[in-house]
Each structure stands twice: as structure tokens, then as C-alpha cells.
Structure 1
Amino acid sequence: MFNIIIKDNYDEVSKAAFDVMKDIVRKDKAVLGLATGSSPVGLYKEMIRDHQENGTSYKDTVSFNLDEYIGLPKSHRESYYTFMHENLFNHIDIKEENAHVPLGDCEDPEKSAKEYEDELKKYEVDIQILGIGSDGHIAFNEPGCPFDSETHIMELTEQTREDNARFFDGNIDEVPKLAITQGLASIMRAKKIILIATGANKAQAIKDMIEGEKTVDCPASILQDHNDVTVVLDKDAASKLSK
């Protein structure tokens, strides 16, 4: 079931997303599912502001990120390990050992994926943050990814790599071709989901997710089967919705 919130701009979208999750992050021993990319950055700023102004503590919080590029060392400026530390972890009091990011720079990514899934299954994620790709992917689950997938290795599509080239100085050759990602079934185990999308380039994916048929051609359409999904959009991202 989708609860749809439409706001005028990105700042309002970020504030609205935080309003949905603030009671969860303030509870003892919350388990958070976190995402990377431009969509959640404003939400993370709201979490940092709340931590600094209201004293909300993350010392007992556990977090699991969705994905990571394969082949980038943790220290790479575009690794999701670096992204999460620069945009959130360095600014709150979460313990390093409780902030889980998949390990993509390793000799055996398949083994790393299985170990990550095994650790994830020890917890119940209270709330999962998602963005959405212009082709309807969530995490790095590209079109065609099975709905029953768990944490796995995914070959990135040309479209995803083109979309992400902006983070690599516009050079698609610098964008990794593989990623380790939570699967669609892994994501669906979360108790509550917030999906954030802004911009006209996301409008068709949002329409397909909410109003289209449930199909692996639009991986995000699996969310039609979840009983608690809040979708926070700006007017451009919502522009193709018929309702």
C-alpha cells in the first residue's frame, strides 16, 4: 500500500521524509536501512540537524546499507562507504561496528554477499530508505532481477552507469560495471519503507511503480506487495501519476 506525499521542492521532500521516520530513529535500538545517491542526502542532513539540536542519539542504532560498487576501495571518493561517512556517519554518534556497508573490494564478492545477507537476517529493519533509478531499479536491482532475490552481485546496465557517470566527472568508463546489492526480497522484509524521488527524469519510473503492472521490468513495482510504503515526491517526479 502506497502513501503518497507530494511537495514543492527537494528541501520540503527531505523534511517530509524525516517527519515520517523521526519517531523510529528516536526509539531505542532502531535498525535502519540506508541508501546512497542524491535522493537521501537532504534526509541525512535532517537527521544530523536533529542529532545536533535535539540530542537524538544513534549509539544503540544499527544500520544496513543497500549496496556498494565492486572494485572500489573503501577510501575511493565514490565508494558508498565514503559517501555514508561524509553524508551521515561522521556527523552522528553511531558506532562504526554497527554501521554496515557491503564489502565490494574483496577477493570473493559472492562470499561477501552471502555473509552480508546472513548478518542482515539477524535483524528486522524498522525502516528502509530507498531511491529509484530512472529505469525503475531500487538498490542496484536492475530490470529483470528476480523478485525473490537476496543480497547478490549485479551487473549494472548501461543506463544506470550513464546516470551515475555524473559522480565520476562525467566519465562512464570510471563507473564500475558490477555492484553488490541487497536483493528485492531482502528489501521487502523491512517493516516500513520510505522511497524518495525528485525530478522529471524519475516520473515514468514512479508511474510504473505505483500504477503499472507488477513486473521485473520495473523492479520497484514489487513494492505494490508491501503493506507500508511512503513515497515522497516533488511535483516533477509525480507529474505522470494519473491520480
Structure 2
Amino acid sequence: MSSFRTGSLTVHVHANVVEMASAAAEASAGIIANAIQSRGSARIILATAVSQVEFFHCLVENPRIDWSRVTVFHLDEFLGITENSPSSFGYFLTKQLLSKVTVGTAYKINGSSLLPLKECARYEALLKEKPIDLCCVGVGENGHIAFNDPDVADFEEKSWVKLVKLDERCREQQVKDEVFPTLKDVPLYAYTLTIPALCHSLNIVGVVPGRHKAEA
């Protein structure tokens, strides 16, 4: 492993995905365990993308986490998609985490809500109830974090959850990642936690596997 700093960010470069996922899970487990020891519970936000599968596996297997004391959120969701759709991030969260451990509480974004703006407000209120101890993020090929594509990422955003239009490269990545079969199947809009919402987390861990993410 090698490390370097850029601004206030510390970057660790690992030889392969397994090593990276294991290290990120160990760091995350420590943060969660410390929060539970200090306050009796932990609140975390997770990225739900195929790039995070190995990280989820390592996180689930880590014995330091008392999942019954953990409240889980996720970063984003496609607009107009139901939770039981294999393409939804709520489905991914259940498959990769909630079906394997018993968490205290899991809050999912309702992608199929008929009142999207009210859904944004509902999820934002839940996030703001107490401090977020840990936010685990990935980075998309176009540089997006959650669904904050470069052209809509706003560091001064007042809201914590908003609707965004996905750019073409972001939608193409969903096809590459086999989330959707074709580009026309990828929704044009999505819910996302905003940059200020992520930055309010007490700790942030990024898991970014693959040389194809180097530009981002």
C-alpha cells in the first residue's frame, strides 16, 4: 500500500480490490464501534453501487460491528423505481447488507413515491435527527459522488436531499455496471444526498476501485 495527501484528503492506494475493501471495512468498523461505545449507537450512510460489493462483504464479516445498534441510510435512488426492482439501490442494500445482518434501523429512499419533493423532505428530516457518524462513498467515472454529477454538484446547497437530472456519462455507467440493460432503460432523474449533507458526516470513507476511475 502507498499513501499520499491532496488537500485535506488522505488517499491510500492498494494492490487490488480485496485489499482495498478490507482496509476500508476495518477503518469503517472502527468508526462505527467507537460511536457505539461513546453514544450507544451509530448512524451511517452507505453507497449502493456494484463497485462497493467487496466492501459490503468485508463490512458484514467484520466482528467489531454490533449491527443491532446501527441506523443505516443510503446515498441515492432512481426516480420512479420500486424497491423490489433489482435495479434499485434499496434492493442492492437489502441484498448486500440487510439480508445478512440485523441492523437497528434502515431508512430507504422511496424511489416510487408519487410526491418526490415530499420524499426529499422526509429523508432529509431523518438524516438531520442526529449526527451521522460515517458516510461511505464511491466515485463515478465522471466524478459524481452519490448522484451529484459535476454540473449539479453544489457545495452551497441548502437542502440535504434533492432531485437531479443524470448526465449522459453517468447513465452510460449504469449500463456498463449492468444495473440496467440499455441506456433507454436508465431513468433520467434520481434522488441524491447533496454535497453539504455528505460533508456533515463526522467521518467519510471513500472506496474507489479500478484504474478506470483514475481520471475521476
- Indicate whether the TM-score tops 0.5: yes
In which range does the TM-score fall when normalised by the shorter chain?
0.7 to 0.9
- Deviating 4+ runs (over 3 angstroms): none
Shift of 1:164: 0.5
Task: Give me the TM-score of the superposition, normalised by structure 2.
Answer: 0.88
**Unaligned stretches of 5+ residues in structure 1:** 206-243
Alpha-carbon distance in 1 for matches of 2:187, 2:74: 18
Match of 1:157 in 2: 167
Q: Is residue 67–residue 101 contact of structure 1 (8 Å, CA) maintained in 2?
A: no
* Greater length-normalized contact order (CA 8 Å, ≥ 6 residues apart): 1
Match of residue 90, structure 1, among 92, 99, 124: 99
Please give the TM-score of this superposition, normalised by the length of structure 1.
0.78
Which residue of structure 2 lines up, in the alignment, with residue 203 of structure 1? 214
| 1:171 aligned residue | 182
CA distance in 2, matches of 1:40, 1:203: 16
Look up the SS of the partner of 1:5 in the other structure. Answer: strand
- What are the Cα deviations for residues 146-192 of structure 1, in whole angstroms up to 9, with x where unaligned? 21222100111110110101324541111111111111111110011
CA distance in 2, matches of 1:170, 1:188: 33
Q: Which residue is equivalent to 1:138?
A: 145
1:141 alignment partner, SS class: coil
CA deviation digits over 1:13-65, x for unaligned, max 9?
10110121121233330111111112221111112212xxx374211211111
Of the candidates 179, 185, 201, which is equivalent to residue 196 of structure 2? 185
8 Å contact from structure 2 (residues 29, 65) kept in 1: no
Q: Supply the distance in 2 between the matched residues of 1:100 and 1:45 (Cα, whole angstroms).
A: 20
**How far apart are the structure 2 equivalents of 1:90 and 1:40?**
16
Give the corresponding residue for 1:102. 109
Structure 2 unaligned blocks of 5 or more: 1-7
CA RMSD after TM alignment: 1.4
